[in-house]
């Protein structure tokens, strides 16, 4: 067999194994063998780049880097769903639509409402061509490269699929995968992700698709669209399943309100033991003809409705309260609970937020408390069960001293949190500040995790972030688990971080209340650290989004000589404390009239208008046939959108606009 033939054979085999695994539930080969074949394919493909196939099974490993996702307009709008919360509301919905339909409706499909990120995929001649996020419903981002890495998304279909169609589904991150991911993040000193849903949608927007490939995402498909000749929703999804799409087996075809309620109750009970999160079920009118009669409201189809479950609650014993110290010294009380099963995970701890919250809940140690899981990873305590009260004498006395360094705690006027006042010496604060500095969103220093930092701190090698830049190879080599290679990596990472822009350094300093966005704002307005240190409160307050709390926190920070010294040291080490000039001028937009509409992520509308003028363009006030293009942000008004569409005026996204420059 020639290499070329082998490539084709491998591709076909791997597609087949995937189909067998995901659709037929048959394990034809082991994971190991599968990986071997995949590796063989990758090696051959590397030798024969001319045989490139955008839907080769090797695409699952990812590898492409996408800086800006292209905005794509959906052929058919991606709607929301109306919600119901009780059997009565569901009954009302049924009556309403039967009235519009003019006849009883006797066939429905019931599906689980997966809590993830919705996606619209286009298949042409049985190959995945495009995968686009829901976005604002009418336009989303092209995330095809990332979606191709999801194991159960078919890249090639089999059977009697139509030549062209769209299919919609929900991309989810199963609970086990979510927890594994967070464990890794915590070990690396990074903030854990909040919930599987946000993590799933964040995973689709990663720039490096091989990073997406490492996340155990899955896609469940729930609707076909396009000009297709099926008489029922059930039939179309059964077909889709036969072509290779994972249409969940939980989908059922039912007829009466009683049956619908029974489905809702059954899944309400099983919900907690599912390996992924659902937030309800979706009920859809089965007949496509009836769907057409019912049509849509402005927001959602009339022929479908979701039934949402209430957040799940359990009661368990409050054993004790412990206190965590953050990098800014903020103290967070944490309830230690008798471990209990809740929404598929075992809960042992719940946040109590602050002293006021404890007081408000009026808790005693030994109480049985109601715990609820909302969107957060750490569950919340909602109250106690009066029938199972702990000893009333067991009042929770809020600590007065830092659990780490024993310094007295302080509460700033108007803030709910207590703080450890020992900024300069509290080990947890000091280590936390360095961990924050090296984190992904700040200096993004590779090769240095949370444990390494703790080790360096306890060895007396670093006390603050400036010390990182003093580290020498000879100091590190004798340390445990520091092979030459990891030392080199660590030092290279630190050296490379000197190239990070000012706003990242500023955010990295970890000044209380100066988050990513505020740091960017400050860097942009004041241009340099020198300026920022010198300006008065009034000038600071004049900046958008900068309030009293931030100003006060900045003043406190710059008042401390050790902070000023540290900044001086870091300047000497070559870190940037000056923003790069962002004003660029050109004639790119010469002779063009551009209308700016909507809300933008990176710059304000006025800044964008300025950029247009700086680059030779004119800013138009309303859309007309003279408009060259509309710079369209989020939530641009529908009437403007219609107008632009009518006149055939292109709508350019914020990212595409920056690219034009
Ligand atoms: P909502 O965002 O609450 O208005 O609900 C609409 C969203 O539910 C859709 O955009 C889908 O992402 C999601 N969804 C999850 N499961 C299903 C399903 N089985 N059928 C339809 N939509 C679903
Ligand atoms: Zn302390």
Tokens 């491998």 sit at which residue? 10
Q: 649, 627 in Cβ contact below 8 A?
A: yes
Lowest mean per-residue pLDDT among 8-22, 320-334, 380-394, 598-612: 598-612
State in Å: Cα 590 to ligand 1 middle.
44
User: Closest-lying ligand to the alpha carbon of 306?
Assistant: 1
**Segment 408-443, tens digit of pLDDT:** 999 987 888 999 999 888 999 999 999 999 998 899
The reply to whether ligand 1 has any atom less than 6 angstroms from the CB of 490 is: no
Q: Of 241, 272, 73, which is closest to residue 160 (Cα–Cα)?
A: 241
Q: 391, 364 in Cβ contact below 8 A?
A: yes
User: Closest-lying ligand to the alpha carbon of 110?
Assistant: 1
The reply to whether ligand 1 has any atom less than 6 angstroms from the CB of 200 is: no
The reply to whether ligand 1 has any atom less than 6 angstroms from the CB of 221 is: no
**Segment 267-276, tens digit of pLDDT:** 988 987 899 9
pLDDT of residue 171 exceeding 60: yes
Protein residue with least CA distance to atom 18, ligand 1: 113
The reply to whether ligand 1 has any atom less than 6 angstroms from the CB of 80 is: yes
Q: Per-residue pLDDT averaged across 571-595, rounded?
A: 83
User: Closest-lying ligand to the alpha carbon of 330?
Assistant: 2
| CA–CA separation, 85 and 305 (whole Å) | 10
* Predicted pLDDT of residue 233: 97
| CA–CA separation, 42 and 141 (whole Å) | 28
The reply to whether ligand 1 has any atom less than 6 angstroms from the CB of 437 is: no
CA angle 364, 366, 371 (to 5 degrees): 85
* Predicted pLDDT of residue 581: 65
Banded pLDDT at 597 (limits 50, 70, 90): confident
* Predicted pLDDT of residue 65: 84
The reply to whether ligand 1 has any atom less than 6 angstroms from the CB of 232 is: no
**What is the distance of C-alpha 92 from the center of its chain?**
36
**Residues with Cβ within 8 Å of residue 315, at least 6 apart in sequence:** 368, 369, 370, 371, 385, 388
Lowest mean per-residue pLDDT among 20-29, 190-199, 322-331: 190-199
* Predicted pLDDT of residue 401: 96
Q: Per-residue pLDDT averaged across 114-139, rounded?
A: 94
User: Closest-lying ligand to the alpha carbon of 430?
Assistant: 2
148 is catalytic: no
State in Å: Cα 38 to ligand 1 middle.
34
DSSP 3-state of 364: strand
* Predicted pLDDT of residue 376: 55
CA atoms within 13 A on the CB side of 412: 13
Phi and psi at 646, nearest 5°, equal -60, -45
- Between 114 and 516, whose confidence is greater? 114
Banded pLDDT at 26 (limits 50, 70, 90): confident
Q: Of 472, 547, 448, 466, which is closest to residue 510 (Cα–Cα)?
A: 466
Domains, the chain: 3-61 (1.10.287.610), 83-120+134-140+161-308 (3.30.470.30), 313-411 (2.40.50.140), 427-499 (1.10.150.20), 502-572 (1.10.150.20), 593-660 (3.40.50.10190)
| CA–CA separation, 569 and 571 (whole Å) | 5
* Predicted pLDDT of residue 506: 97
**Segment 348-376, tens digit of pLDDT:** 999 899 999 999 999 999 999 999 876 55
* Predicted pLDDT of residue 213: 94
| CA–CA separation, 58 and 41 (whole Å) | 7
Transcribe 625-647 into DSSP letters: TT--EEEE-BT--HHHHHHHHHH
pLDDT of residue 346 exceeding 90: no
Provide the β-strand partners of residue 65: 208
Banded pLDDT at 392 (limits 50, 70, 90): confident
DSSP 3-state of 168: strand
State in Å: Cα 554 to ligand 2 middle.
21
* Predicted pLDDT of residue 131: 97
The reply to whether ligand 1 has any atom less than 6 angstroms from the CB of 438 is: no
Q: Of 430, 425, 422, which is closest to residue 467 (Cα–Cα)?
A: 430
Which atom from ligand 1 is nearest to the alpha carbon of 300? 4
Site to probe by mutation for ligand 1, drawn from 76, 171, 282 as the one with most ligand atoms within 8 Å of Cβ, is 282
- Between 466 and 85, whose confidence is greater? 466
Transcribe 574-604 into DSSP letters: T---BPPP-----STTTT-EEEEESB-SSS-
Q: Per-residue pLDDT averaged across 635-642, rounded?
A: 81
**Segment 277-332, tens digit of pLDDT:** 898 999 999 999 999 999 998 889 999 999 998 777 889 999 999 999 988 899 99
Q: Per-residue pLDDT averaged across 150-174, rounded?
A: 95
State in Å: Cα 77 to ligand 2 middle.
53
pLDDT of residue 533 exceeding 90: yes
* Predicted pLDDT of residue 423: 83
Which atom from ligand 1 is nearest to the alpha carbon of 284? 20
H-run or E-run covering 371: strand 368-372
Site to probe by mutation for ligand 1, drawn from 168, 170, 237, 245 as the one with most ligand atoms within 8 Å of Cβ, is 170
- Between 158 and 227, whose confidence is greater? 158
| CA–CA separation, 47 and 294 (whole Å) | 55
Is this structure's pTM higher than 0.75?
no
The reply to whether ligand 1 has any atom less than 6 angstroms from the CB of 114 is: yes
The reply to whether ligand 1 has any atom less than 6 angstroms from the CB of 111 is: yes
Q: Which residue among the candidates 67, 113, 284, 441 is catalytic per the annotation?
A: 113
Site to probe by mutation for ligand 1, drawn from 85, 114, 140 as the one with most ligand atoms within 8 Å of Cβ, is 114
| CA–CA separation, 470 and 482 (whole Å) | 17
Banded pLDDT at 34 (limits 50, 70, 90): very high
The reply to whether ligand 1 has any atom less than 6 angstroms from the CB of 133 is: no
Q: Of 120, 111, 79, which is closest to residue 204 (Cα–Cα)?
A: 120
* Predicted pLDDT of residue 37: 94
């Amino acid at each position: 067999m020639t290499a070329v033939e082998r490539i084709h054979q491998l591709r076909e085999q791997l597609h087949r194994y995937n189909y067998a695994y995901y659709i037929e539930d048959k394990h034809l080969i082991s994971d190991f063998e599968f990986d071997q074949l995949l590796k063989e394919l990758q090696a051959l493909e590397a030798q024969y780049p001319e045989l490139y196939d955008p839907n080769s099974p090797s695409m699952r490993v990812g590898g492409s880097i996408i800086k800006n996702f292209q905005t794509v307009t959906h052929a058919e709008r991606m709607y929301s769903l109306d919600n119901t919360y009780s059997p009565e509301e569901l009954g009302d919905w049924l009556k309403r639509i039967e009235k519009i339909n003019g006849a009883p409706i006797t066939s429905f499909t019931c599906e689980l409402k997966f809590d993830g990120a919705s996606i619209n995929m286009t298949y042409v001649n049985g190959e995945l061509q495009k995968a686009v996020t829901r976005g604002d419903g009418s336009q989303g981002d092209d995330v095809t490269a990332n979606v191709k890495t999801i194991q159960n998304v078919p890249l090639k279909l089999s059977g009697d699929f139509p030549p062209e169609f769209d299919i919609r589904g929900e991309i989810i991150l199963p609970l086990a995968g979510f927890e594994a991911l967070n464990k890794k993040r915590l070990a690396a000193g990074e903030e854990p992700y909040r919930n599987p849903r946000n993590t799933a949608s964040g995973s689709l927007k990663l720039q490096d698709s091989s990073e997406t490939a490492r996340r155990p995402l899955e896609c469940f498909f729930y609707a076909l669209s396009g000009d297709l000749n099926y008489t029922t929703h059930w039939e179309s999804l059964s077909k889709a399943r036969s072509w290779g799409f994972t249409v969940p087996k939980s989908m059922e075809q039912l007829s009466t309100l009683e049956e619908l309620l029974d489905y809702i109750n059954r899944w309400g009970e099983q919900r907690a033991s599912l390996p992924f999160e659902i937030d309800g079920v979706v009920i859809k009118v089965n007949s496509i003809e009836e769907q057409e009669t019912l049509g849509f409201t402005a927001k959602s189809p009339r022929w479908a409705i979701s039934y949402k479950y209430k957040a799940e609650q359990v009661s368990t014993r409050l054993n004790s309260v412990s206190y965590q110290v953050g990098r800014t010294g903020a103290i967070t009380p944490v309830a230690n609970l008798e471990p209990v099963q809740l929404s598929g995970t075992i809960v042992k701890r719940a946040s109590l937020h602050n002293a006021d919250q404890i007081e408000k809940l009026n808790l005693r140690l030994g109480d049985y408390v109601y715990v609820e899981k909302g969107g957060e990873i750490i569950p919340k305590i909602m109250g106690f069960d009066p029938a199972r009260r702990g000893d009333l004498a067991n009042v929770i006395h809020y600590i007065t001293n830092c659990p780490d360094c024993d310094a007295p705690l302080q509460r700033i006027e108007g803030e709910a949190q207590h703080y450890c006042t020992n900024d300069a010496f509290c080990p947890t604060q000091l280590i936390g500040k360095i961990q924050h500095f090296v984190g992904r969103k700040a200096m993004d220093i590779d090769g240095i995790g949370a444990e390494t930092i703790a080790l360096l701190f306890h060895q007396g090698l670093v006390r603050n972030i400036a010390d990182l830049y003093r580290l020498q190879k000879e100091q590190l080599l004798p340390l445990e688990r520091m092979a030459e290679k990891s030392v080199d990596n660590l030092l290279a990472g630190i050296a490379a971080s000197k190239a990070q822009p000012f706003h990242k350094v500023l955010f990295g300093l970890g000044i209380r209340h100066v988050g990513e966005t505020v740091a960017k704002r400050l860097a942009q307005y004041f241009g340099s650290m020198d300026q920022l240190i010198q300006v008065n409160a009034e000038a600071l307050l004049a900046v958008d989004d900068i309030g009293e709390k931030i100003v006060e926190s900045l003043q406190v920070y710059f008042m401390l000589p050790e902070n000023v010294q540290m900044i001086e040291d870091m300047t000497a080490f070559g870190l940037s404390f000056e923003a790069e000039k962002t004003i660029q001028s050109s004639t790119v937009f010469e002779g063009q009239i551009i209308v700016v509409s909507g809300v933008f992520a990176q710059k304000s509308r006025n800044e964008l208008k300025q950029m247009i003028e700086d680059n030779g363009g004119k800013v138009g006030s309303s859309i007309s046939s003279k408009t060259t293009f509309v710079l369209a942000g989020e939530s641009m008004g529908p009437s403007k959108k219609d107008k632009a569409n009518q006149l055939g005026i292109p709508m350019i996204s914020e990212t595409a606009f920056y690219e034009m420059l």
